[in-house]
Amino acid sequence: MRTSIATVSLSGDLRSKLEAIAAAGFEGVELFENDLLSFEGSPRAVGAFARELGLKIVAFQPFRDFEGMPEPQRSRALERAERKFDLMEEMGTDLLLVCSNVSPHSQGGLDRAAEDLRELGERAAKRGLRVGFEALAWGRHIHDYRDAWEVVRRADHPHVGTILDSFHILAQSLPLSVIPRIPKEKIFLVQVADAPRLEMGLLPWSRHFRNLPGQGQLPLAEFMRALVATGYAGFVSLEIFNDQFRSVPPREVALDGYRSLVYLRELADPQSLPPPPECRGVGFIEFCASEGEAAELEGLLQRMGFRRTRKHRSRQVSLWQQGRINLVVNAENEGFAHAYNLVHGTSVCALALEVAALQPALARAEAYRAAPAVLPEQPLPALRGLEGSLLYLLEPHSPWAEDLEPLESAGPGVGLEAVDHVAQVMPPARLLSWRLFYRTVLGLEASDLTEISDPSGLIQSQAMQNPERSLRLVLNASQNTGTLASRFLNAYYGGGVQHIAFATSDIFATLEALEANGVKLLPIPENYYLDLEARYALESELLESMRRHNVLYDQSEEGEFFHAYTQTFADLFFFEITQRRNYDGFGAVNAPVRIAAQVRQIRQALHNLETQF
């Protein structure tokens, strides 16, 4: 499988697109006519530039509204094709992509279309060129890849082949059984795109919402299996029409694109990469803080039942423990944590995951082009995570805490046992990118994207987790600038951990202990409990406990979920206390109530500040 991407997938001018594509490691590029039209140099210069970068132009596209035209349009279309062949010769590409006709003037009939393509193939052959025929899902007469292939079969010309595009095929849920029957030498190109499942017309869905393999919901694994059955070994080219991608620098999309093709290769041949790491859990979470804020954060951790169990003998680095939870507070005034703190404030600068086997996890990360992070002060293997934070990978019994001297033992705390999940907030254009990162590098499964209403807009929330549920991440993004998610984004200068949820097996006892220690919980309005009472047959005593401790509640078919929140620390992050009973979600139904309560608290704090001065 050779790698390619269409220029339409990237933002910028043609020069920067080609540079980004080459830098990401692609072998080929599909050149879109629009990019040529707006290029200031000759087609010859485009070809020379691509070759200089080591890129092969695998196709020129699209050539529209060709087959099935009555005269005089038919002759005119053939003439138009000759002009495009001229350009192609100059650029140095031999394949013209012909997409199926959408014109109301076109006439149906597979034989008629085959006749037209044979004639076009004959003209192409005279110049050593080829034509590939692709069915657009909204083509007037031909909108099914099986018909496009039948037309090519009947055209019966060595310079005419078919082009398969996963979007047009999978968006219509066409059966894939015919793909393995197409001789591989008659498949001139394969284009791939994923997409979220949306209830809308095929054309706007395709033109605005395509995304990279691994980012959407189309059954690309089945598509790849069908393709593998043909023995096809040519170019697989990303063709991603997506408005959001055009607001991201081309190098970022190109790199994600390359990663998505490695993912496709893994779908086609699962043996081609080490399997996703088996994650044993979150090893530790590291906060960076200034000296002053470190004392404040540590005060909160202490009230939350954590004990300072270890401390570095010379550095300002402490380990706080409770149950299986390890929190590192780093208040050094040099090194990575310090630099991170200068940019992002008191925040999580590193997340460490325990994996069953380190070397294969690192090999997989490298194959997926995850950037390794090398710190002079820290020998642990790490990858670059969100906004330049670190993602450490720990082998079993990793001596990561050995530089820290033991102080006291952890003690019973308030009953917090483990990290339940970590929620990160990021700009909307980054959500798909990180979804792909976690999907590929860590093998996490994405659950459905949910939309959460905020008093000032909408927040998109994407949960990702491993099969063992020892790692659960929630990715949040917001388009609107006034939402709580955006507030965190602004405060962080980019993105970061918005909250950490800890699991307890007795939430009421835990909250009782937290409150006794003076931890302030997020107050939940009485109306919420009236609604709970109306919705569920809950015992009044249980309801009363929830009310008293500001606990939110959700029920699934099999289970129950109880959760509560601390107040926000330094306007940047907060903690959640969770208790699951056979429940697999995150209480998304309660998110609007939680967010509204947090917004109220922020307003209150602002008001208090104003009246102070």
Ligand X SMILES: O=C(O)c1ccc(O)c(O)c1
Residues contributing to the annotated binding site: 134, 165, 191, 239, 421, 499, 576
Q: In the complex with ligand X, which residue's Cβ is closer, 126 or 207?
A: 207
Q: According to the binding rule CB under 6 A, does residue 239 interact with ligand X?
A: yes
Binding ligand X by CB under 6 A: which of 44, 51, 184, 207? Answer: 207
Helices (H), 56-212: 73-91, 110-126, 145-155, 166-171, 202-208
SS3 label, residue 311:
strand
SS3 content of the chain, % helix, strand, coil (to 5): 40, 25, 35
Q: Is 320 helix (H, G, I), strand (E, B) or coil?
A: strand
- Would you give the DSSP letter of residue 271? G
Q: State which of residues 12, 43, 47, 62 lies at the interface with ligand X (CB under 6 A).
A: 62
How many Cβ atoms from other residues are within 10 Å of residue 405's Cβ?
Answer: 12
Give me the least distance between CB of 439 and Mg ion, in Å please. Answer: 23
Piece of the chain touching Mg ion by CB under 5 A; list 24-32, 100-108, 232-240, 455-463: 232-240
Beta bridge partners of 162: 133, 187
What phi and psi values does residue 323 have, to the nearest 5 degrees?
A: 55, -130
Task: State which H helix or E strand residue 474 sits in.
Answer: strand 472-478
Nearest-approach distance from CB 20 to Mg ion, in angstroms = 20
Binding at 242: pick from ligand X, Mg ion, none (beta carbon under 5-8 Å per type): none
Binding residues for Mg ion, how many (CB under 5 A)? 3
Q: Binding site residues for a divalent metal cation, as ranges?
A: 134, 165, 191, 239
Residue 65 near which of ligand X, Mg ion, none (CB within 5-8 Å, type-dependent): none
Rounded Cα distance, 409 and 309, in Å? 6
Q: Shortest distance, CB of residue 204 to ligand X, whole angstroms?
A: 10
Residue closer to ligand X (CB basis): 135 or 337 = 135
Question: Taking CB within 5 to 8 Å according to partner kind, which of Mg ion, ligand X, none is near residue 30?
Answer: none
Measured CA to CA, the distance from residue 206 to residue 247 in angstroms comes to: 18
CA distance 355 to 337: 23
Query: Does residue 150 contact residue 139 with C-beta atoms inside 8 Å?
Result: no
State yes or no: residue 191 binds Mg ion (CB under 5 A).
Answer: yes
Kindly provide the b/e burial profile for residues 115-141, where b requires at least 16 CB atoms within 10 angstroms of the residue's own CB. Answer: bbbbbbbebbeeeebbbbbbbbbbbbb
Six token digits for residue 93: 């590409």
Q: Which is nearer to ligand X, 135 or 514 (CB)?
A: 135
Residues 180-199 contacting ligand X, CB under 6 A: 191
Asked if residue 165 binds Mg ion (CB under 5 A), the reply is yes
x-or-dash pattern for ligand X, window 114-143, by CB under 6 A? --------------------x-x-------
Looking at the Cβ atoms of 136 and 425, the one nearer to ligand X is 136
Residues in contact with ligand X, shown as a per-residue x/- string from 552 to 591 under the rule CB under 6 A: ----------------------------------------
Of 14, 24, 99, 300, which lies in the binding site for ligand X, with binding defined by CB under 6 A?
A: 99
The interface partner of residue 62, options being ligand X, Mg ion, none and the CB cut-off 5 to 8 Å by kind, is ligand X
Cβ-in-10-Å burial (0-12, 13-18, 19+) of 288 comes to buried
Q: Which residues bind Mg ion (CB under 5 A)?
A: 165, 191, 239
Q: Which residues bind ligand X (CB under 6 A)?
A: 61-62, 97, 99, 134, 136, 165, 191, 206-207, 239
